[in-house]
Amino acid sequence: MSINIFGKSKDLIGNINVYLQTIQTSGLVFYEAIKEYMDGQNDFFADRVVEIKKIEHEADSLRRDIKHKLYKYLLIPESRGDVLALLETLDDVVDVSYNTLLSISIEKPEIPDSIKDDFVKMAKYSVKSTEALIGACEAYLTDLSNVNDFINKVFFFETEIDRIEERIKRTVFGPDSSMKFSRKVHIRYFAEKIALISDTAENICDRLSVFVIKREV
């Protein structure tokens, strides 16, 4: 099923495309930030925190502008609430990414060299889950037939991240670990914070699946 629910409103379509690209960019910035933190590039990491904060503001501004235009241009009026809900929940991806980087910049967790690559992999798969989520949203707005393909990718990457998260926890809490318990808990906390990005993407896809069913009825 191929349909553009915005008709010929190039202005609204353009704004939504920019908004989706902004969400995707937040994921890329997050990934680079995690790599830089794990490499000890603290100045570069600090710049990423500032950068993603700007992205968060930009996303909020775009979302508000789109909200006002939705009721004027949307071709299928009954889809207004679903589209707006989708755009607002997408904002959660940026919020989680920013809050995670901000927490890292404040608390400065000490990550052992042996698991730094695992944290980077989690961030990498977080980017991939975000990219797949954006693909699912674009398909929902233009071609429903492709939505499930992207949703399946989100679920796959979320599962991979869960596996890495568990591996990190088993490593730091394992019998061979000599770290203080407080440090173990700190590491576990940030593993869970990073995993929350893909969890958020998965939750959005669950809602998106319902929106698709409503459009198909």
98-114 pLDDT, tens digit per residue, is: 999 999 999 999 999 99
- Give the C-alpha separation, 6 to 178, whole Å: 58
Mean pLDDT computed over 67-75: 70
Query: Tell me, what's the pLDDT at 6?
Result: 54
The pLDDT, as a whole number, for residue 3 is: 40
pLDDT at 64 over 60: yes
CA 43 centroid distance within chain: 24
Rg (CA), the chain: 19
The structural domains of the chain, ordered by start, are 10-216 (1.20.58.220)
Cα separation of 185 and 182, whole Å?
5
* Averaged pLDDT, 49-61: 95
Residue that the structure tokens 């998106």 belong to: 208
B/e letters for 171-185, b = 16+ CB within 10 Å, e = fewer, are bbeeeebeeeeeebe
The pLDDT tens digits for 138-188 are: 998 888 889 999 999 999 999 999 999 999 999 999 988 889 999 999 999
Residue 157, classed as helix, strand or coil, is: helix
Measuring CA to CA, which residue among 46, 213, 31, 20 is closest to residue 122?
31
Which pair of tokens denotes residue 135? 């693909």
Q: Which residues contact 5 (CB under 8 A, 6 or more apart)?
A: 74, 75, 76, 79, 83, 141
Between CA 131 and CA 16 the distance in angstroms is: 15
